[in-house]
Amino acid sequence: MNRIAVFASGNGSNFQAIADAIRNKSLDAAICLLVSDNPEAFAVERARKEDINTFIFQPKQYASKEEFEKEILDQLKLEQIELIVLAGYMRLIGTTLLKAYPRRIINIHPSLLPAFPGKDAIGQAISAGVKETGVTVHFVDEGMDTGTVIKQSSIPVFEGDTRESLQKRIQNNEHQLYPSVLQKLLDSRIEK
């Protein structure tokens, strides 16, 4: 069984899509840990409903990123985590985790990277007036959404789209794309 940890800071809809894919047997993995930097994140509630261990921390209670990442790393080792899956985790990953999990940390981002990295990619796309945006699954490196792209999926931006309407289409796409890319990665069909 492939043991994964999901990192989330908010609603956790991608966490839920992954958990559902595991339940439906379309993803051969087990979420063994949810890591969150936000005790109020709905992702934490989702993990509890799924009976998944959680590690919740508040970064301001640590002297440095290195300090809280060492504590996260201890939790990952305890759970024998093989792959880290970022799903709406709103922090850059530091060298402590990057060194421990080289090319074994992935992220999903709501744009066709390198376009619209960072926060509010959907708002950025609407403001820019693009006709197409999408979803990118990529390996995580030390930069902001700069890691090697694993897979992308295009989504049209329609005239009159609001942030909410576009976000809904993007999230529907994410919920299909992320579990399938995860399975391919775990099957080693994608070069690690």
**Omega prior to 114 cis, within 30 of 0:** yes
- Whether residue 102 is contained in a domain is answered as yes
- Whether residue 92 is contained in a domain is answered as yes
pLDDT in the model for residue 187: 87
The answer on pLDDT for 192 being more than 50 is no
- Whether residue 73 is contained in a domain is answered as yes
Residue 22 lies in domain: 2-186
How many folded domains does the chain comprise? 1
- Whether residue 65 is contained in a domain is answered as yes
The answer on pLDDT for 191 being more than 50 is no
Over the stretch 56-111, which tens digit does the pLDDT of each residue have? 999 999 999 999 999 999 999 999 999 999 999 999 999 999 999 999 999 999 99
Q: Which residues are catalytic?
A: 109
Gap between the Cα atoms of 134 and 140, Å rounded: 18
Gap between the Cα atoms of 66 and 56, Å rounded: 16
Across the range 158-181, mean pLDDT stands at: 96
The answer on pLDDT for 188 being more than 80 is no
pLDDT in the model for residue 1: 75
Across the range 157-178, mean pLDDT stands at: 96
Residue 119 belongs to a domain with what CATH number?
3.40.50.170
Write the DSSP assignment of 35-84 as a string of letters.
EES-TT-HHHHHHHHTT--EEE--GGGSS-HHHHHHHHHHHHHHTT--EE
- Whether residue 144 is contained in a domain is answered as yes
- Whether residue 192 is contained in a domain is answered as no
Task: Name 152's bridge partners.
Answer: 136
- Whether residue 191 is contained in a domain is answered as no
- Whether residue 169 is contained in a domain is answered as yes
The answer on pLDDT for 190 being more than 70 is no
The type of residue at 57 is F
Task: Name 55's bridge partners.
Answer: 35
Task: Decide: pTM greater than 0.85.
Answer: yes
Over the stretch 8-59, which tens digit does the pLDDT of each residue have? 999 999 999 999 999 999 999 999 999 999 999 999 999 999 999 999 999 9
Q: Is 102 exposed, middle or buried (0-12, 13-18, 19+ CB in 10 A)?
A: exposed
Tokens read off for 63: 């002297």
Over the stretch 104-163, which tens digit does the pLDDT of each residue have? 999 999 999 999 999 999 999 999 999 999 999 999 999 999 999 999 999 999 999 999
